[in-house]
Amino acid sequence: MATRLTVALWAAFCLPLAAIAEPLGNAAQEADWAARLDKAAALQAESRAMKDAAKQTLEEKTPACDQKFLVNACREEARREYLKASHAAQRLETEGRAIEREVKREQIAEREKRRVEEAPQQEAELKARAAETEAARQATQARIEATRADKAKKTEEGERRKAADAERLRQKQEAHARKVAEKMREAEQREREAAKQEGAKK
C-alpha cells in the first residue's frame, strides 16, 4: 500500500505541473505524455506486484487454515482478502491502461492535426518537385530535339554540297565535251578544206 501511496503522491505532483506547462508547446506536450505513460507503467507494475503478493499470501494462508479449528471459515476469510487485493490490483491496472489509451488517443489526434497542418506545405513541395521534374524533362527534350535538328541541318547541308559538287562536275564535263566536239568539228572542217584545195590543184 505504501507503494500505491507513493505513486498517488507522485501523480498528484506531476499532473498539475504538466497542466501548467501545457501551453509551452510540443516539447511540453511530449514531456506530459512521457510522464503520464510512466505513471501508467508504474500503476500496472504495482498492480502486478499486488496480484503476486495476494496470490502468495493466499498460498501461505491456505495450508495454515488446515491447522485451525474453523478451517472453512479461515479459508473463506483468506479468499476474501485475496479477492479484495486482486480487485484493488485490477483497478490499478485498469487505471494504467486507461491512461495509456488516452495518451495514445491524444498522440493520434496530434499526428492527424500535424498532418492536416502540413498537408498544404507538402502539397506545395510535391507541386514544386513535379514542376522541376517537368522543366528538366522539357529541357532534356529540347536538347534532344536541338541535337536532331542540328544533325538534320548538317545532313541537308552535306547533301546540298554533294549536289552542288555533282552539278559543277557535270557542267565541267559538258564544257569539256563541247570543247572536244568543237575541236573535232574544226579538224573535220580543216580536212574538208584541205581536200578541196587538193582537188582544185589537180
Name the domain count of the chain: 1
DSSP for 62-97, please give it. HHHHTTSSSHHHHHHHHHHHHHHHHHHHHHHHHHHH
Residue 197 lies in a domain: no
Q: Which tens digits make up the pLDDT trace of 69-88?
A: 787 888 888 889 888 989 99
Q: pTM for this one?
A: 0.48
| Domain range for 75 | 2-147
Supply the pLDDT for residue 77.
85
Residue 102 lies in a domain: yes
Reference 90, options 36, 29, 43, 142; nearest CA is 43
| Dist CA 97 CA 102 (whole Å) | 9
Residue 103 neighbours by CB under 8 Å, 6+ apart: 33, 36, 37, 40
Residue 159 lies in a domain: no
Residue 198 cell numbers, joined: 587538193
Residue 193 lies in a domain: no
Residue 30 lies in a domain: yes
| Dist CA 57 CA 65 (whole Å) | 12
What's the rounded mean pLDDT across residues 144-155?
91
Q: At residue 155, does pLDDT exceed 50?
A: yes
Residue 73 lies in a domain: yes
Please report, rounded to a whole number, the percentage of residues in the chain having pLDDT higher than 70. 86
Name the average pLDDT for the chain. Answer: 82
Supply the pLDDT for residue 25.
47
Q: Is pLDDT larger for residue 69 or for residue 151?
A: 151
Residue 171 lies in a domain: no
Residue 75 neighbours by CB under 8 Å, 6+ apart: 61, 62, 65
Q: What is the amino acid identity at position 35?
A: A
What's the rounded mean pLDDT across residues 37-58?
91
Supply the pLDDT for residue 104.
94
Reference 10, options 35, 44, 45, 46; nearest CA is 35
Residue 202 lies in a domain: no
Q: For the chain, what percentages of helix, strand and coil (3-state, to nearest 5) are there? A: 95, 0, 5
Give residue for cell 487505471.
95
Residue 121 cell numbers, joined: 506545405
Question: Is 96 in contact with 40 (CB distance < 8 Å)?
Answer: yes
